[in-house]
Structure 1
C-alpha cells in the first residue's frame, strides 16, 4: 500500500522522493484525452490539486464537440505514481455500476455513497480516471460552519458512511483514509442530502487468498494515512482492517461535533500515536477533553466502546452502529429524516438573542466624557453658587421693577419660577391677593430677599421661605 503524501496545500516536489509523489505537468484547456473504450474527453479548467495529482472538469466529445455543462471530472497522475493505480484497481474490480446497483437493491438502499466506475485511460506519460462530478467537500463545509456540525448532520453523514464502508468491506477492501476532504456532496440539486466517499488511493485488501491479513506490525508501513485521523494500528504499521476504518470514522465524528481533536496541533507522528493510545484507555476523558465545556453525546462514548472491542479479524455490526447514530439524532432533539443540516439553529438563536441590535440608521456613538469638574463647596461657609435659574429670576425681576407698566409677579405667569418651585419639592403657588399700590414695594423686597437668601441659605428651599415671609410682611 502506498505511503501517504503531503497535504494538498504543500508545494509539489519537482523530483520524486521517499514519501512524496511527482505532480503532473498542467494540461491546456480543451485538450482531448482518449480512454480505453476509444471515447474522447475534452478537458475543462482545473478544479483541484491533491498530493498525488490534479483534477479537471471534463466533457465527453460527441460529433466533434464537447458537451456543455460538464458533468464529469478527470483525475490525472503521472504513471510512476501509485495512488491512482490503486484507486483505478478498486473501481475496476469492486465499483462497477451493475455491482453497486445490485447491492443497493439487496440492502434496500436508495443511496450508496460509493462512486461507480466510468472509464479510464493513458494519456502520454499520465494515467487518468473519469468520474462523476460531485459537489463541495465536507472539510470546506466544516470551515464555513464555524468548525462545527450539528449532531444531526454529523450522525446523518456517519450513517451514509457506514453504508459505504459496508459495501467496500464486503468487496474485501478497507478505505483507510476517511476524512472530510474525501467526502463530497452530490452535484445535482436532488443529491444535496447525499454524500460520497472518494479518493481510494490508500485502499488495500484486508482479505487475501489465505483469509484475513495477519496482525503483524511493520515499521516500514508505520503512520500510513492522514496523521490526524489514522488508526492506532496504522501508526504501528499493521495492515488495516475493518475495525480501523471505524476508528478513523470515529475521530472524524468527534471533530465534526466538538470542533477539534486533542492532538490536532501535534505534528510529530510518534507523539500523536502516544496521545491516541492514552485516550483509547479512557474514552470519557478523551471526549471530555475534545468537547471541553460542552456535554459530549453519550452515543459517541458508546460508539468508541464498541469499536474498541471489535477484534482485528471480526466483522463489525453495521446495523448496530447505524442504530446508535439514529439514536444520537433523536437525543439531540431532531428527527431522522436523512436530511443534512450544516448549521445548528439552536446555536444561532442563542447568538441572536445575546447580540444587541444595532441601529440601521447610524453607527453607535460612545457617550462623551464629562470633563467639567463639579463646583467645590466651601466647608467653612454656607454660601452656594448661584444657579442659572436663580440668575434668570433675578434679572427678570429687576427688569420688571424698572418697567413703567409692571406686570403681576404671579408664579403661574413666570416660566422660570415654576421649575424652581418643583425643584424645591413644592407646588407653584398663585398670589391670589391684589397687590394694588404696594406692587412696586413688594418687588423691591423680593429682589432684596432673593439676594439675601442666595448668600445665606443652602438652596432653593431657603429662597422659597424668604419669599413667603416677605409676602406676609406685605400683607
Structure 2
C-alpha cells in the first residue's frame, strides 16, 4: 500500500499565500464549531486548509456518498467562498470542474459542499519522485489548456493556476483533470458586451509567486495571457523537477517577489527550456507575445503539445506516469483528497 501525503514535497520554497496552518487532519469540532451542515453533511476529518479556511471530508447522509466541504469565516477580511460560489455556478455544465452540491451559512461560517476529487498534480508529482515524462506532461497540460479556455469563454480568469489546484477525478473519472480553488477568480470582460476590462497598473500580486506571470509581478491587471503563462510555468516545473526561482531567500516577501521577477525576466529561454522539444519553446514564446486583451489561440498550443506526443510515437492514451507505479489507480469514497492510498 502506497500513501501520498500532503507533506511529501521536499522543496523548502514558500511561495504560496495559502500555506497550511495545521498539520492535524483529524476532525476537531473546535476548528469550525460545526459537526453537521444543513442536517445533511456530516464532517469526518480535515483534509486541507490555509489562510482562507478549512477543507473537510464529509458524508452526505442523503445521497450516501463522500463529499468535500470548504468552510470560511463570514468575517474574513476578503471572503473567498462567495467568489467560489459564483465560479462554480458559471462552470457547472463543463467537464473538468467539480459540481457544487450545497452553499450556505452555518453558524459564523460560509460553507460550500462539492464533489470529492482525487489527488492534486503536486501530490502525484511527489508520488512519481518529482519527475513526469514528456508524455504525461503534454497530456495533462493539454487538459489544463482546455479547462482554461472554458473558463475564459465564460469571461472568467482563474488567477491562481498551479499544480496544487489541478486535481484528478476518481473512479471512472480518474483520467480527467479538474480545476479547483476559485477564490481569486475574476471577470476580465463585461458579461453582456464582452468588452475587455481596461489595463490597470499598480496591482498587488494575486496568486502564487512561483507560477505568477511577469506582468503580474510588475503590477499589471491580469488577463487571459497571465493564466496561460502560469500553465507554461507548471509545464516547465513538471519537466525540470523545479523552477530556477524556487528556494530564493530574502528578508521580506516583497524582496523575494522582486528576485523571482528578476529571474523570470533575465533567464535565457534556451536555458529555461534546455533539452526540451522545440514545441515547448514555441509555446513559451507564443504565450509571452500575447497582448493584454488578445484572444489566445488555445488550439494552437494544444497542437504543439500533441505534435510532441505524435513525434515520440506515443498516443493520447491517458496512461499517466502514476499508473505505471501501481497496477490500479482508484480511490475508495472514504479516502481524502490529500492522503490518498493506492
TM-score of the superposed pair, with normalisation by structure 2: 0.80
1:35-434 aligned at under 5 Å gives the runs 40-62=40-62, 67=64, 70-81=65-76, 82-92=79-89, 94-96=90-92, 99-100=93-94, 112-188=95-171, 190-208=172-190, 211-218=195-202, 221-267=203-249, 268-279=256-267, 282-288=268-274, 295-342=275-322
Q: CA deviation digits over 1:88-130, x for unaligned, max 9?
A: 12223x123xx33xxxxxxxxxxx2122332201001000111
TM-superposed CA distance for 1:169, in Å, is 0.3
Counterparts of 1:6 and 1:259 in 2: how far apart (Å)? 21
- For the 8 Å contact 2:167–2:179, the answer to whether it is kept is yes
Q: CA deviation digits over 1:374-412, x for unaligned, max 9?
A: xxxxxxxxxxxxxxxxxxxxxxxxxxxxxxxxxxxxxxx
Counterparts of 1:42 and 1:343 in 2: how far apart (Å)? 32
2:135 aligned counterpart, secondary structure: helix
Counterparts of 1:266 and 1:87 in 2: how far apart (Å)? 31
TM-superposed CA distance for 1:200, in Å, is 0.6
- For the 8 Å contact 1:32–1:41, the answer to whether it is kept is yes
- For the 8 Å contact 2:57–2:67, the answer to whether it is kept is yes
Unaligned runs of 5+ in 1: 13-23, 101-111, 289-294, 346-475
- For the 8 Å contact 2:17–2:207, the answer to whether it is kept is no
Counterparts of 1:120 and 1:160 in 2: how far apart (Å)? 28
TM-superposed CA distance for 1:301, in Å, is 0.3
Counterparts of 2:163 and 2:200 in 1: how far apart (Å)? 29
Counterparts of 1:230 and 1:129 in 2: how far apart (Å)? 27
- For the 8 Å contact 1:206–1:212, the answer to whether it is kept is yes
Q: 1:71 to 1:11 in 2, by over 3 A?
A: closer
Alignment partner of 1:32 is 2:29: no
How many positions carry a matched residue from both structures? 296
2:175 aligned counterpart, secondary structure: coil
Counterparts of 1:52 and 1:27 in 2: how far apart (Å)? 13
Which residue is 1:6 aligned to?
17
**Which has the larger share of helix?**
1
**Higher CA-based Rg:** 1
Higher RCO structure, 1 or 2 (CA under 8 Å, sep 6+): 2
Unaligned runs of 5+ in 2: 1-14, 24-28, 250-255, 326-342
TM-superposed CA distance for 1:79, in Å, is 1.0
TM-superposed CA distance for 1:344, in Å, is 7.9
- For the 8 Å contact 1:57–1:74, the answer to whether it is kept is yes
1:260 aligned counterpart, secondary structure: coil
TM-superposed CA distance for 1:5, in Å, is 6.6
Counterparts of 2:127 and 2:59 in 1: how far apart (Å)? 30
- For the 8 Å contact 2:160–2:206, the answer to whether it is kept is no
Counterparts of 1:320 and 1:134 in 2: how far apart (Å)? 29
TM-superposed CA distance for 1:172, in Å, is 0.5
Counterparts of 1:317 and 1:6 in 2: how far apart (Å)? 30
Counterparts of 2:17 and 2:210 in 1: how far apart (Å)? 13
Counterparts of 1:344 and 1:276 in 2: how far apart (Å)? 34
Runs of 4+ in 1 over 4 A off after TM superposition: none
Counterparts of 2:41 and 2:233 in 1: how far apart (Å)? 39
Q: 1:337 to 1:317 in 2, by over 3 A?
A: same
Counterparts of 2:205 and 2:22 in 1: how far apart (Å)? 21
- For the 8 Å contact 1:235–1:273, the answer to whether it is kept is yes
Counterparts of 2:281 and 2:167 in 1: how far apart (Å)? 26
Q: CA RMSD in A?
A: 2.4
1:135 aligned counterpart, secondary structure: coil
Q: 1:278 to 1:5 in 2, by over 3 A?
A: closer
TM-superposed CA distance for 1:11, in Å, is 6.0
